[in-house]
Amino acid sequence: MMVHIQDVWKRYPGTWALRGISLDVEKGRVLGVLGENGSGKSTMLRILAGVTHPTKGSVLLDGQEVGVETKKWVAYLPEVNPFYNWMRVMEQVEFLSVFYPEWDMNKAREMVAFMGLDGDKKVGALSRGQKGRLKVACAFSWPSALVLMDEPLAGIDPPSRKKILDALFNEYRFGEQTIMMSTHMVHEVGEFIEDVIFVKAGEIALRGNADQLREERGQSLSEMFEIVAM
């Protein structure tokens, strides 16, 4: 099992972001984490990435507790732009390469070019969409075992989204990478998702194999999303 979450709770001042979530994700699967803003999906990914500590509960990634060792093989794309604006694009990529033993600079250059980014341009001069592309480029520049993507399409123009997703899930995906992707653009990612969870108010409201759910309920993921959100 790549991800094992057992009764995880997370409290922020005045609110519980997660309320006893339990989840298992098998290796090599693509899991869609769907839910409205504030439902707790970003918090769940942050905990898996090790940037946030759960208030209670346990999280294991490939049998290991989240920490420095797991971060070596987990690629995390936060919902925000996490890059240093004063760095040039390739400078940022090279900075990250120091920390990941399996970072592939050739692949990184290829990804930067595929994303249409100028390696000499300062990160601060990139548009929001270009920064989003840079996040994706960095995440797929090395053979991580688990990719955590929090709203990876935010800011990217609609025509490019399909092209990028197609490349990520087919051409640029390393072997049996497990991918967890949170989004509310359900209609655009639906075809790439194998398993799905719908998160509402810090709890998993619905889960299952995406195809099975479609078949059993006779609804698209977008329709399920709307029903769960109500």
Partner 1 sequence: MRTFWALYKKEWKDSQQLLGFLVVGITALELYGWYHFDPALIERKESAWYQIPFVIAMAVGFFAPAFLLARSFSFEWKSETHYQWFSLPVNRWITVMSKFAVALSQGIVLLLFSSGGVFQASSKDGGFTIWQVFFEKTEDLQLYQFSLFMIDIFVMFSLPVLLGLVLTLALVTAMEGVKFTVHRYRGLVALVFFGSSVYLFGRFFNSAVQILDFMGSYKPLLFLPGKGMGHSVEWASYAYPLLAIVLLMGMGLWLFEKRVDI
3-state per-residue secondary structure call for the chain: CCEEEEEEEEEECCEEEEEEEEEEECCCCEEEEEECCCCCHHHHHHHHHCCCCCCEEEEEECCEECCHHHHCCEEEECCCCCCCCCCEHHHHHHHHHCCCCCCCHHHHHHHHHHCCCCCCCEHHHCCHHHHHHHHHHHHCCCCCCEEEEECCCCCCCHHHHHHHHHHHHHHCCCCCCEEEEEECCHHHHHHHCCEEEEEECCEEEEEEEHHHHHHHHCCCHHHHHHHHHC
User: Is residue 143 involved in binding partner 1 (CB under 8 A)?
Assistant: no
Q: Count of residues binding partner 1 (CB under 8 A)?
A: 28
Of residues 53 and 207, the one with the C-beta less far from partner 1: 53
User: Is residue 177 involved in binding partner 1 (CB under 8 A)?
Assistant: no
With contacts defined by CB under 8 A, name the span among 93-101, 165-173, 189-197, 211-219 that binds partner 1.
93-101
User: Is residue 144 involved in binding partner 1 (CB under 8 A)?
Assistant: no
Q: Between residue 94 and residue 113, which ones bind partner 1 under the rule CB under 8 A?
A: 95-96, 98-100
Report, in Å, the least distance between residue 218 CB and partner 1.
39
Q: Between residue 30 and residue 89, which ones bind partner 1 under the rule CB under 8 A?
A: 46, 49-53, 68-69, 71-72, 74, 76, 78, 80-87
Give the residues lining the site for partner 1 (CB under 8 A). Answer: 12-13, 46, 49-53, 68-69, 71-72, 74, 76, 78, 80-87, 95-96, 98-100
